[in-house]
Amino acid sequence: MIYNSIIDVIGNTPLVRLHRVTGDLKLTVAAKVEYLNPGQSVKDRIAVKMIDDAEQKGLLKPGGTIIEGTSGNTGMGLALVAAVRGYKCIFTTTDKQSQEKIDLLRALGAKVEVCPTNVAPDDPRSYYSVAKRLSREIPNSYYPNQYDNPSNSRAHYETTGPEIWEQTEGRVTHYVAGMGTGGTITGASTYLKEKNPDIQVVGVDSVGSVYKKYFETGEFDEDEIKPYITEGIGEDIIPGNVNMDLIDAVVQVGDKDAMQMTRRLAKEEGLFIGGSCGAAVFGALQYAREQNLGENDVMVVILPDSGTRYISKIYNDNWMREHGFME
């Protein structure tokens, strides 16, 4: 079969069983390997969906400019779609993102504005605010706003959820995903709980993010917001795509545990992935132990992106030592 373009091969990523990092756990832990998408991340799915929907609604016209705030992966997916369909791209990101992500976006023809990480979301210097301002100033531009755009969750309802259900032949008992924009966890869990309301959904958050306390208390506590290194998960806002009613538990994972598990997954399972993947697996295994999950349980964990984004960070021994992540 010959595909019409690179964006037609997005999705249908495999489930791969984990063996060595699971230790003495008896349940099946299956990783959904999203770095096998053409843009090497789960965000390819939402990129094509958001642009398809914007075109259908007349929000994005030929020759237009796509402007988005991104930690890198959504930008990569949008840049692929833009390259195929003839759009320009401007992305805002934060200075904690890896240089590889910025270089990859520029390689695909996008302009990238790097903004400070440690400012409030409504600060005019934040990457949210700069993206919104540029979308107002630049004619014939479209701001997808992945945080609040329902097409984000819808993409996972239409693709990720059904794939997990079919690939496990309906045997999935637990679905685990990192919590960033909220689309991956909300969209897929909506589908899965429609199929089987007993499926447990576990969100993985980063220490320094507001999600865990918000989930447990309903309180948005700014005192929870602290700097952290893991990219792509955790937030200092509550995006519109997050539906806490679908989530059964939230596990918080610190940077060190996330980075060390990321390295282990590469060395012990052959999975060359990013730091939020390590966080997701660490959180999933911690939850499995706490809940005494056993042979009849089938846990699916989303691995959002590729290790190619983090060569100068997680896979650099000196960087790991400098941050106290290697003994």
Residue pair 255/228 in contact by the 8 Å Cβ criterion: yes
Residue type, 311: I
Choice among 32, 43, 193, 313 that is catalytic: 43
Q: Is the dihedral of CA 213, 287, 162, 155 positive or negative?
A: positive
Instruction: Give the Cα separation of 164 and 169 in Å (integer).
Output: 8
State the burial class of residue 93 (Cβ atoms within 10 Å of its Cβ: 0-12, 13-18, 19+): buried
User: If we measure between CA atoms, which residue out of 105, 81, 82 comes closest to residue 92?
Assistant: 105
Give, in degrees to the nearest 5, the angle at Cα 119 between 98 and 308: 10
Q: Which two tokens stand for residue 95?
A: 């200075």
Instruction: Give the Cα separation of 267 and 48 in Å (integer).
Output: 33
SS3 for 89? strand
Would residue 43 show up in a list of annotated catalytic residues for this protein? yes
> E strand or H helix at 249, and its extent?
strand 249-253
Cα→Cα distances 240→1, 26, 59, 146, 293, Å: 39, 37, 20, 9, 32
Catalytic residues: 43
